[in-house]
Structure 1
Amino acid sequence: MLTYQSMSESQRELHDFVKNASGWLLQQERLTDGGDVDSLRENQIGDVGAQAIAETLKVSDVGAQAIAETLKVNTPLFSLEVACNQIGDAGARAFAEALKVNSSLRMLTLSWNQLGDAGAQAIAEALKVNTTMERLYLYHNQIGDAGAQAIAEALKVNTNLIWIRLHANRIGDAGAQAIAAALGENKTMTELHLARNCIGQVGVQALDEARKVNRILTQLDIEDQINPLAFSLLPRLTTSEDWQSVFHLLTGRHELENQPALLPALPAEIAELVMDEAEYLQGVQHIHQAWSRYNQFDFLKLTMPRSSDGNSIRVKAIQVLREQYKAKSGRFDLIVRDEQGAVRYKWAAKARVVDSTIQLVTISPTDHPVIRQLRAGWEVEVQLGQYYSFVRLASLSVGYIERQD
């Protein structure tokens, strides 16, 4: 359990900042590079920092169980924004525990983070018992159907929430139907934002029907839904730890369960080939999901990382995906720069149209020699072309393996 004594200096700074804050704690207050406490937005706080902040939101008697120093009730603080950081599910769970006992916070913003279904489920459980939260902003995260279904269950019993913003997530028909059912029971919600998810016709129809029945809801935003196929086409990239675990399973001699025989140990070259054919790759990925039609972006870029063990990396594929109002056959302009920023290659990759709204291109080492030359520190950029203002979702993914030198 995180205690004040176990916090790092930066965690204590965040902890004390929120503890002593009052009123609105929003983006106009910033953490500067020099360490002066001015803000919580765009600070790369992450899960551990989020846990430190969450501890300050607990009332003193409950907080005393988690931290050695008794915390005072932070009654002046009624609004907290911790947007544009790297808070994931672990950080969301910490905030959820705080919401169960906090009695002053009325608005919480955790948008533009990395919250998934597990984080949303934790917050949903807290909403079932929280009695003061009125506005919850979770837009531009990675919440899918499971998270939306959990929030829907909370809406059936919560009697104080009036606004929820869940736009630019990954909620589909199942999540939308669950929320629609909850609106039949909820008597306090006035605004619900679900635009730019991947809700199909079934989910949209369910929400429309719920709006007709619910007399309290005054605004329901379900515009500009993303084609659900786009998310399924994104590559599933693994972590370095998982890749190494599978590699060692293939190259080591392991006993079969309830069998005296051993699995044969494969040579490293054969193990790499097996994993290549299975497309079990590590990778880096830049995904941008526009939160409105005015949120325009015309390029994506990422930097190749260093391997976990110091060996070189071998790039296996680059994938670019673009989902827009109406896809047209065209191209993506790709640019590769070295560590010094010098342009090494620039070429146009022709994209194919998938399901009317999606353009997709996958580039392998056989398609272009630069793929074999990519190394740590090099930058890959894709320019989205002249129709970028109509793009709702775009992704740039680079899959690679670490050479076993």
Structure 2
Amino acid sequence: MTKLQRMLYDQAKSANAYYDLLLPGRVGVAGAQAIAEGLKVNTTLTSLELMEHDIGNDGAKAFAEALKVNTTLTTLSLPQNQIGDAGAQAIAEALKCSLIEGMDSLPQNQIGQGGAQAIAEALKVNKTLTLLILRENQIGSAGAQAIAEALKVNTTLKELRLDKNQIGDAGTKAIAEALKMNKTLTKLNLIGNQIGVAGAEAIAEALKRNMTVQTLSLERNQIGDVGARVIAKALEANMAVTTLSLCENQLGDAGAQVLAEVLKVNATLAVLYLHENQLGDAGAKAFAEALRVNMTVQRLDLTGNCIGNLGAQAIDEARQVNDECRVNIDRQINPLTLSLRPRLATAEDIQAVFHLLTGGPELEAQPASLPALPFEIAEPIMDEAHYWQGVQDTKQVHFADIFPKHPLKVTVPRSIDENPIQVKAIRVIREWKKPSHNAGDSVVELTVQDEQGAVRYKCVANPTLVDSTLEFVTIWRADHHIIREMREGWKVQLVPSEFSDEFLFESLYVGYV
């Protein structure tokens, strides 16, 4: 062993209760193996966190071997460690006999369908695990379906987090079917999974039968008003859900109104998160009316919508009647922002358009049909079309000067199928707190780095002003060859502006297919 490895071994061997490894550098595979050897003889440590240390599959395998003999560790956390399917499979095998209760070990890694399927097999026999966090991996719909099958027979798992795994409607439907049978899961997180109306409908049907899930997070999907309507209908019968998050789901006043109506009859829901949707005064008024009747809701978050003075006044008046509910309506945005946010196309949408191009559709009220295009012409047209199937994004809200400003960063994800991801565009949206004479002098500065961290492109662009406070920049594939070259692991960074303190928010999007 090297001196560092001996130190890590000794620390792991004698650590008590909680061990959070904080080192100036990354321990890598060899360091992870040293820690794992220490765990084999440790009899007191209950929780271990090792974040962003590049331990990879071999390091994960070493921890898996340690879990087979360690009888005291109950929580293991290994986020951002480049663990792939092989590492996940090793840990899954250990879970079949381990006493681990909390597995926060695998978020933000590189686990795909194979790793998820192995973990699912472990869940079918594991009797101790209560927490499983697989957020920000690439398990896809097939991985979600495998985990759903395990949920049908697992009787110990209480919390499942699958944020940002591209499970889509197909994976969501599988999870929903499992919820009809599972009686132990109390918290389910499906944030940012490209879930549409079909997925929302499946979840709604499950909620009519499942009476154990208490916290449901569906934010950053695309369920829209139709999805909100079916969820609201389910809440008329469901008396278990106490916390529901539908943030960033393209909900407008129609969706808000049906949710507000259900609050008049549902006496269980205590927390409802709806920030960054598309609610206006009509939606706010509907909730204000509901708050005069419902006395069980403790928190209603309407931050970052498009509520004006009339809606805010209605909420204030409702607060005079109901002072038990905390309502957040700050940082309302310019309604024009909604037109700049990405609207994602589903695989079915894309296929339908491609079929129109190659099939020669008939025009209404016209005797002739459009000519069918050959595939070699239709494919470049689709390639250049301005649509996104997926998006990685981040946002910074400048609501207080006491918080440090940091660069916004987005990483291109790994594809969940055999086809490589193609970046379609980079977009920056920002809104000024008020009309400013600096708006004309403001620029957007971006850098693009490859998977090795080398800067491949620097861009300084003048944003397009939408009105006196709203501006944006979009760089399409046709604008620069570097966009065509971007692939898994590449990073886009928005350099902080000298005028950051004058912005209400900044958003960075990387759209891809």
TM-score (norm 1): 0.70
Contact 1:140–1:169 under 8 Å retained in 2? yes
Give deviations 1:92-132, integer Å, cap 9, x for gaps. Answer: 44443333234455x31315442522443222111111234
- Corresponding residue for residue 16 of structure 2: none
- Corresponding residue for residue 242 of structure 1: 349
Does residue 296 of structure 2 align to residue 183 of structure 1? no
- Corresponding residue for residue 394 of structure 1: 507
Sequence identity, in percent?
38
Gaps in structure 2 of 5+ consecutive residues? 1-115, 138-146, 148-155
The structural deviation recorded for 1:30 is 3.8
- Corresponding residue for residue 409 of structure 2: 300
Aligned length: 366
- Corresponding residue for residue 371 of structure 2: 264
Say which of 490, 494, 497 aligns to 1:385: 497
Say which of 325, 340, 359 aligns to 1:233: 340
The structural deviation recorded for 1:144 is 1.0
When residues 304 and 265 of structure 1 are mapped into structure 2, their CA distance, relative to the original with a 3 A threshold, is farther
Contact 2:456–2:482 under 8 Å retained in 1? no
Contact 1:323–1:394 under 8 Å retained in 2? no
Q: Which residue identity is paired with 2:507?
A: A
Does residue 264 of structure 2 align to residue 144 of structure 1? no
Give the secondary structure class of the aligned counterpart of 1:40.
Answer: strand
- Corresponding residue for residue 351 of structure 1: 463
Give the secondary structure class of the aligned counterpart of 1:157.
Answer: coil
Distance 1:354 1:342 in 2: 34
Distance 1:126 1:16 in 2: 32
- Corresponding residue for residue 14 of structure 2: none
Distance 2:311 2:382 in 1: 38
1:309-388, aligned counterparts within 5 Å? 318-326=426-434, 328-329=438-439, 330-338=442-450, 340-363=452-475, 369-370=480-481, 374-377=485-488, 379-388=491-500
When residues 282 and 220 of structure 1 are mapped into structure 2, their CA distance, relative to the original with a 3 A threshold, is closer
When residues 221 and 383 of structure 1 are mapped into structure 2, their CA distance, relative to the original with a 3 A threshold, is same
The structural deviation recorded for 1:276 is 9.3
When residues 199 and 350 of structure 1 are mapped into structure 2, their CA distance, relative to the original with a 3 A threshold, is same
Distance 1:16 1:140 in 2: 35
- Corresponding residue for residue 98 of structure 1: 206
Say which of 160, 184, 189 aligns to 1:40: 160
Contact 1:320–1:397 under 8 Å retained in 2? no
RMSD between aligned alpha carbons?
Answer: 4.5
1:28-67, aligned counterparts within 5 Å? 30=133, 40-42=160-162, 44=164, 46=167, 50-51=172-173, 53-55=175-177, 57-58=179-180, 63=181
Gaps in structure 1 of 5+ consecutive residues? 1-6, 64-70, 401-405
The structural deviation recorded for 1:172 is 2.8
**Structure 1 or 2: larger helix share?**
2
- Corresponding residue for residue 195 of structure 2: 88
Distance 1:335 1:95 in 2: 40
Give deviations 1:352-391, integer Å, cap 9, x for gaps. Answer: 443333221234678x644575454454433342455655
Give the secondary structure class of the aligned counterpart of 1:175.
Answer: helix
TM-score (norm 2): 0.57
The structural deviation recorded for 1:265 is 3.5
When residues 112 and 242 of structure 1 are mapped into structure 2, their CA distance, relative to the original with a 3 A threshold, is closer
Give the secondary structure class of the aligned counterpart of 1:114.
Answer: coil
Give the secondary structure class of the aligned counterpart of 2:264.
Answer: helix
